[in-house]
């Protein structure tokens, strides 16, 4: 059986076209792309008239049907060699972006917003999936899990025989991308499942607002909010994603409540959440996405309901290298780094024996910097190139990649010093 190459096609928002005819044009266009590699985007086309209807063609991941754990390794080792399309089953997905963004829910008269909503695929979530880099196949596993859950639901698999709640729990230290991957997963599924549902909605629950202002009424407020969600789910032709960030706020361990270390009102909140999750499980068109920084504080009855519990660790050196490489290439693209030479290009994979060489190329220098970045959160890594430019370049443009790498190395040391100072203050 052939492995699958996934291709996503972003359409022009104001144009209508017959998809079967457009798919033929896209398949013809793919044969003209050189080189064709995973995780690449194409906005200029050879096929005449294609740009009138298509904004971009995204060559996405290779789905290894035999060994999902080796997908990331297979893609990394593919290098820049063009894929032979005849050896893959190509799946093409067409979509348009909604530009409304996340907006506060206004269905109640309460002054405090308890959830935000948007239509998917959404322009605000565009590019998040591609920007997230992990050394483990986290994205691939989550995508396969979610698609399987929805497939079971569409086929009405009896949950009394095979238990599945379509509930994901991502946990780990702050700044590792848990919330981002939830939003990116919802966006990706809204593209991949476009033929199964008429529309997609994303709901982000503000759990802190449920507990702070009306604390004594928290349980009833949770019930009221879930009733609103139930009303949305009644439209069976939609797929709804519910994000509960820092879910420990709503699912405090009840043994802590009974021992007196948590407010007694918390037990009513936990009971309300668990009851409502069980009630909503009968709807086949909902996926719950939850995150937590402190899983030990979560009631075990909630964690038991999660189909998949995944630890998201801070990125390690190869993932860090990929993050920094993308950031520097973006600065070159927008001409904030100028005079980049051909030999300044970065390899897809660095030479792990770089420190053994006397003269290092740009790839090896960046890999050494990446090793020094281990311990920094993904959130910090995404801004470290900005810190390097603002503190150590201090000019509108940086003259050459080498100069920027020197600045980046200084920025990493600066950031670690600042983080150590914050730790001492605590």
| Helix-helix angle 378-388:317-333, to 10 degrees | 40
CA distance 137 to 143: 10
What's the count of helices (H) and strands (E) in the chain, helices before strands?
14, 13
Whose CA is closest to 237, among 200, 197, 201? Answer: 197
β-pairing, 3-11 vs 54-63, is antiparallel
Identify each DSSP E strand in 306-387 by its residue range: 308-311, 337-338
Contacting residues for 149 by C-beta, under 8 A, at least 6 apart: 164, 166, 287, 307
Sole residue written with tokens 């086929």: 155
Measured in degrees and rounded to the nearest 5, phi and psi for residue 255 equal -70, -30
Helices of type H across 52-95: 71-77
Q: What's the chain's length in residues? A: 426
Rounded to an integer, what distance in angstroms lies between the CA atom of residue 96 and that of residue 89? 24
Question: Can you tell me the distance from the alpha carbon of 133 to that of 320, in angstroms, rounded to the nearest whole number?
Answer: 8
Token look-up 């990116």 returns 184
DSSP-based three-state secondary structure for 53: coil
- Residues β-bridged to residue 89: 4
| pLDDT for res 78 | 46
The Cα–Cα gap between 226 and 144 comes to 27
Instruction: Look at residue 399 in the predicted model and tell me its pLDDT.
Output: 95
Smallest Cα–Cα separation from 93: which of 185, 176, 10, 199?
10
Start-to-end CA distance of the chain, whole Å, equals 56
Q: What are 30's two structure tokens?
A: 């793919």
Select from 161, 179, 162 the least CA-distant residue to 171: 179
Measure Cα distances from 267 to 213, 306, 377 in Å.
17, 19, 33
385 token code pair? 């190139």
Please name the residue that has the structure tokens 């053994």.
Answer: 356
Q: Are 184 and 133 in contact (CB under 8 A)?
A: no
pLDDT, position 221: 78
| pLDDT tens by residue, the chain, 426 residues | 789 999 999 999 888 889 999 999 999 999 998 888 888 999 999 998 999 999 999 999 998 766 555 544 554 444 446 788 999 999 999 999 999 989 988 665 555 677 899 999 999 999 999 999 888 899 999 999 999 999 999 999 998 899 889 999 999 999 899 999 999 999 999 999 999 999 999 999 987 777 654 455 677 778 888 888 898 898 778 999 999 998 988 887 666 555 555 555 677 788 888 898 999 988 999 999 999 998 888 888 899 999 999 999 999 998 999 999 999 999 999 999 999 988 888 887 776 665 555 568 899 999 999 999 999 999 999 999 999 999 999 999 999 999 999 999 999 999 999 988 775 554
Report helix angle 178-192 to 138-154, nearest 10: 50
């Amino acid at each position: 059986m052939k492995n699958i190459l996934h291709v996503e096609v972003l359409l022009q928002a104001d144009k209508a076209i017959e998809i079967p005819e457009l798919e033929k044009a896209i398949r013809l266009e793919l044969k003209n792309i050189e080189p064709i590699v995973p995780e690449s985007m194409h906005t200029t086309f050879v096929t005449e008239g294609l740009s009138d209807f298509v904004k971009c063609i995204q060559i996405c991941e290779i789905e290894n049907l035999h060994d999902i754990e080796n997908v990331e390794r297979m893609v990394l080792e593919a290098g820049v060699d063009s894929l032979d399309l005849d050896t893959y089953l190509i799946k093409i997905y067409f979509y348009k972006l909604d530009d409304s963004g996340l907006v506060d829910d206004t269905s109640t008269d309460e002054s405090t917003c308890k959830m935000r909503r948007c239509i998917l695929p959404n322009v605000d979530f565009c590019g998040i999936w591609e920007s997230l880099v992990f050394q483990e196949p986290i994205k691939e596993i989550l995508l396969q899990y979610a698609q399987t859950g929805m497939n079971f639901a569409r086929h009405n698999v009896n949950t009394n025989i095979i238990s599945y709640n379509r509930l994901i729990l991502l946990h780990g230290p702050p700044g590792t991308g848990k919330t981002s991957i939830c939003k990116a997963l919802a966006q990706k599924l809204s593209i991949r499942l476009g033929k199964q549902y008429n529309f997609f909605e994303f709901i982000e629950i503000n759990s802190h607002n449920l507990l702070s202002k009306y604390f004594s009424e928290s349980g009833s407020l949770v019930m009221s909010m879930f009733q609103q969600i139930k009303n949305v789910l009644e439209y069976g032709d939609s797929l709804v994603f519910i994000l509960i960030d820092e879910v420990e706020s709503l699912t405090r361990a009840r043994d802590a409540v009974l021992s007196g270390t948590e407010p007694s009102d918390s037990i009513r909140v936990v009971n309300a959440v668990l009851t409502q999750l069980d009630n909503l499980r009968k709807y086949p068109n909902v996926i719950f996405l939850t995150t937590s920084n402190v899983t030990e504080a979560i009631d075990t009855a909630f964690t038991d309901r999660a189909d998949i519990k995944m630890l998201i660790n801070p990125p390690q050196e190869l993932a860090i290298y990929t993050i920094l490489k993308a950031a520097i290439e973006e600065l070159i693209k927008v001409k904030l780094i100028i005079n980049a030479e051909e030999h300044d290009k970065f390899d897809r994979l660095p030479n792990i024996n770089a420190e053994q060489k006397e003269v290092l190329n740009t790839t090896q220098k960046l890999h050494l910097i990446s090793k020094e970045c281990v311990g920094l959160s993904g959130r910090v890594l995404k801004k470290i190139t900005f810190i390097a430019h603002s503190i150590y370049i201090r000019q509108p443009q940086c003259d050459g990649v080498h100069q920027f790498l020197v600045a980046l190395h200084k920025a990493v040391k600066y950031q670690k010093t600042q983080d150590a100072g914050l730790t001492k203050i605590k």
